[in-house]
């Protein structure tokens, strides 16, 4: 995350008490984000919601957080736009994986003369 995106997230978290964090599909949100913005402005008012990047450090555009004045707007947002792309929430935003990655193979010894 860049410094500007961190500051945007901190500002939104101070201003709005309710957060909905969504994963962004690999192909992006496309025109869906415009539809979301229009719905948010119409439903919550232009000042009743906020948005900030919510990805992990070093991961670009993998998640977005939408912030709301109250939980009713957040619930309505989820009911309207939830598509089931990646809904893994355990005490926050991500669930731990149950599977383990395959063990790494050590590299061969490299000698130079």
- The percent of residues in the chain predicted with pLDDT above 70, rounded, is 65
pLDDT class of 94 with cuts at 50, 70, 90: very low
Whole-model pTM: value is 0.66
Here the tokens at position 82 are 């939830």
Residue 37: inside a domain, yes or no? yes
**Domain for residue 91, yes or no?**
no
Q: How far is CA 68 from the centre of its chain?
A: 15
| 105 vs 101, higher pLDDT | 105
C-alpha torsion 88→9→79→74, nearest 10: 120
Q: How many domains does the chain have?
A: 1
Q: How confident is the model at residue 81 (pLDDT cuts 50, 70, 90)?
A: confident
Q: What value, to the nearest 5°, has the Cα angle with vertex 5 and ends 69 and 24?
A: 75
Is residue 42, in this structure, part of any structural domain at all? yes
How many Cβ atoms are within 10 Å of 93's Cβ, its own excluded?
Answer: 16
Instruction: Answer for the pair 35, 78: CB distance below 8 angstroms, yes or no.
Output: no
Please tell me the predicted confidence (pLDDT) of residue 90: 42
CA distance 42 to 40: 5
Digit-coded pLDDT (tens) for 26-79:
788 888 889 999 999 999 998 999 988 887 655 566 788 899 988 889 888 888
CATH code for the domain in which residue 29 is found? 3.30.70
The verdict on residue 98 lying in a domain is no
**Structural domain harbouring 20:** 3-81
Tokens of 34: 């415009």
């Amino acid at each position: 995350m860049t410094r500007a995106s961190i500051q945007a997230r901190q500002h939104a978290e101070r201003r709005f008490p309710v957060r909905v964090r969504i994963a962004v599909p690999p192909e992006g949100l496309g025109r869906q984000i415009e539809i979301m913005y229009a719905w948010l402005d119409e439903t919550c008012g232009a000042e009743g919601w906020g948005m900030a990047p919510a990805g992990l450090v070093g991961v670009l555009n993998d998640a977005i957080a939408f912030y709301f004045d109250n939980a009713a707007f957040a619930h309505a947002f989820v009911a309207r736009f939830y598509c089931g792309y990646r809904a893994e929430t355990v005490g926050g935003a991500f669930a731990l994986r149950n599977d383990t990655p395959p063990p790494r193979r050590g590299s061969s010894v490299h000698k130079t003369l």
